[in-house]
Amino acid sequence: MSKFFTFFDTFIGSGYAVTMWNHPDRPYQDLPALPPSGVVETPAVLKATITASRALARLDGAYKRLPDPTMLINLIPLMEAQASSEIENIVTTNDELFKAANGALPDVTPQVKEALRYREALRAGHESLATRPITTKTAVEVCSHIHARTAIIRNQPGTYIGNPTTGNRIYTPPEGRGVILDHLSAWERFLHSDHGLDPLVVMALSHYQFEAIHPFFDGNGRTGRVLNLLILIETGLLQLPILYLSGHIMRHKDTYYEQLNAVTREDAWEPWILFMLDGVESTARWTLDLVETTDTMRAAMETEIRALNSKVPAASLTRLLFSQPYLRIDNVVEAGLAKRQTAARWLTEISDTGLVVKEKVGRNVVFINTRLLQTLFQTPLPDWCPTAPRWGTPSP
């Protein structure tokens, strides 16, 4: 056995009997820099970029019309965190995450804590864009937040991606800290070069490249999926990280890994790019539907609360209930809406009508916006999108 630890990143699925770039046992030291040498913006890809861009534009317009556009920041990133973590076999439920994020889960499991750190990584990455473009430093900071410790660029051999069933190597990424840093520098230059490629294509290409470089011992997939959203924000296609893209990847997880593999072994860029563009388009449509549905629900609840008690600041309290669906009395007090006794009375009155559900959690009482949660958790992602037949079918 080697004196070095062997690290495994496993593809979860039915198993893969494929050869990565014909040499799965050798580090891919000469991983080609982006952009690819062939044409990547094929007619099919260009058509898909138009569809996806339009979906993002409609989403952008819809969330800006919300009374509180930041409301989704407390909702979608949690679902993104759950899905992205589950792709790596870190299994939690959305319900657990929402409870934990709002202080309503007495016993927080390590899996929930790890998934919550993904949300913090996404938030930190988003905030970093205010002061600098996406760089290797961004990736290191994101990965560090995910693991709650400083991430380091791999400096030992032994990392490979393997079949979880057989243990056979599928792919060995570049080795040597200097080699990896060189690949990351080229990745950075591609992100910020004037190559004329559509930003959505840039996102898809750069996600493959980051996963192929595999710069960290662990957390590469989750870091890469945070970077996807940051690229969309940096290029102006999104204003906030409110795209549930990991939901698409989780739903089609086997295809996600198969298409990543196919790029390396066959230079099959078009199916991979189409897969990612379909994900952007379908999750943008899903989020748009969610925005419109929840805003209608919010307006209706605001009207009902105002009719119940005209002294309650109905608009502000309703916004709280839709940004923090497990609402505590302290949340109302901290928002400056009322003192504790008054806040408790208001929330009890509202729960007595059935608008929210009152529940004792440990020593705290929480008021649960079950209408919102049911909409969030039970609205499925689209089963079909226009380009789906080109890259595969949903995982069961």
**219 annotated as belonging to a binding site for a ligand:** yes
Is 276 in contact with 229 (CB distance < 8 Å)? no
Q: Where are the beta strands (DSSP E) in the chain?
A: 7-10, 159-162, 169-171, 326-328, 357-361, 364-368
Average pLDDT score over the chain? 88
Question: In the chain, how many domains are there?
Answer: 2
Mark whether 309 and 275 lie in a shared domain.
no
Q: Quick one: which of 31, 10, 1 has its CA closest to 176?
A: 31
Whether 389 is in a domain gets the answer no
Q: Where are the beta strands (DSSP E) in 258-356?
A: 326-328
- Length of the chain equals 396
Q: Is the pLDDT of residue 70 over 50?
A: yes
Q: Quick one: which of 247, 261, 284, 280 has its CA closest to 394?
A: 247
Q: Quick one: which of 118, 128, 107 has its CA closest to 76?
A: 118
Whether 325 is in a domain gets the answer yes
Q: Which residues pair with 360 in a beta bridge?
A: 365
Mark whether 151 and 241 lie in a shared domain.
yes
CATH of the domain at 367: 1.10.10.10
Mark whether 309 and 350 lie in a shared domain.
yes
Whether 17 is in a domain gets the answer no
**214 annotated as belonging to a binding site for a ligand:** yes
Whether 302 is in a domain gets the answer yes
pLDDT band at 4 (very low <50, low <70, confident <90, very high): very low
Helix or strand (DSSP H, E) at 379? none
Q: Is the pLDDT of residue 387 over 50?
A: no
State pTM to two decimals.
0.89
**88 annotated as belonging to a binding site for a ligand:** yes
What is the pLDDT, as a whole number, of residue 391? Answer: 52
| Cα 371 from Cα 380, distance rounded (Å) | 16
Q: How many Cβ atoms are within 10 Å of 371's Cβ, its own excluded?
A: 20
- 35 preceded by a cis bond (ω within 30 of 0): yes
Mark whether 198 and 77 lie in a shared domain.
yes
| Cα 316 from Cα 322, distance rounded (Å) | 10
* Residues 204-233: tens digit of each pLDDT: 999 999 999 999 999 999 999 999 999 999
| Cα 261 from Cα 179, distance rounded (Å) | 21
Mark whether 79 and 142 lie in a shared domain.
yes
Which of 280, 313, 336 terminates a domain? The answer is 280
**86 annotated as belonging to a binding site for a ligand:** no
Residue 195 known to be catalytic: no
Given 183, 214, 248, 252, the catalytic residue:
214
What is the pLDDT, as a whole number, of residue 12? Answer: 34
Which of 246, 280, 314 terminates a domain? The answer is 280
**257 annotated as belonging to a binding site for a ligand:** yes
* Residues 326-359: tens digit of each pLDDT: 999 999 999 999 999 999 999 999 999 999 999 9
Whether 239 is in a domain gets the answer yes
* Residues 359-371: tens digit of each pLDDT: 988 788 999 999 9
Whether 35 is in a domain gets the answer no
- State what percent of residues in the chain have pLDDT above 90: 73
pLDDT band at 243 (very low <50, low <70, confident <90, very high): very high
* Residues 169-181: tens digit of each pLDDT: 889 999 999 999 9
| Cα 327 from Cα 339, distance rounded (Å) | 15
Domain that holds residue 76: 67-280
Q: Is the pLDDT of residue 162 over 90?
A: no
Mark whether 206 and 138 lie in a shared domain.
yes
Mark whether 204 and 157 lie in a shared domain.
yes
**223 annotated as belonging to a binding site for a ligand:** yes
Mark whether 229 and 89 lie in a shared domain.
yes
* 369 contacts: CB under 8 Å, gap ≥ 6: 321, 322, 325, 326, 327, 356
Q: Which residues pair with 328 in a beta bridge?
A: 366
**319 annotated as belonging to a binding site for a ligand:** no
Secondary structure string (H, E, C) spanning 66-133:
CCCHHHHHHCHHHHHHHHHHHHCCCCCCHHHHHHHHCCCCCCCCHHHHHHHHHHHHHHHHHHHCCCCC
User: Residue 114 has which token pair?
Assistant: 């790890």
Mark whether 232 and 87 lie in a shared domain.
yes
CATH of the domain at 181: 1.10.3290.10
Q: Is the pLDDT of residue 17 over 50?
A: no
Cα distances (Å, whole numbers) of residue 12 to 25, 114, 340? 20, 19, 48
* Residues 109-130: tens digit of each pLDDT: 999 999 999 999 999 999 999 9
**336 annotated as belonging to a binding site for a ligand:** no
Whether 87 is in a domain gets the answer yes
Whether 54 is in a domain gets the answer no
Mark whether 153 and 219 lie in a shared domain.
yes
Is 231 in contact with 203 (CB distance < 8 Å)? yes
Is 180 in contact with 153 (CB distance < 8 Å)? yes
Q: Quick one: which of 231, 193, 196, 195 has its CA closest to 210?
A: 231
Mark whether 141 and 189 lie in a shared domain.
yes
Is 85 in contact with 120 (CB distance < 8 Å)? no
Rounded to the nearest 5°, which phi and psi values hold at 366?
A: -120, 150
* 311 contacts: CB under 8 Å, gap ≥ 6: none
Mark whether 312 and 244 lie in a shared domain.
no
Mean pLDDT for the stretch of residues 365-380: 91
* 123 contacts: CB under 8 Å, gap ≥ 6: 77, 241
Which of 221, 254, 280 terminates a domain? The answer is 280
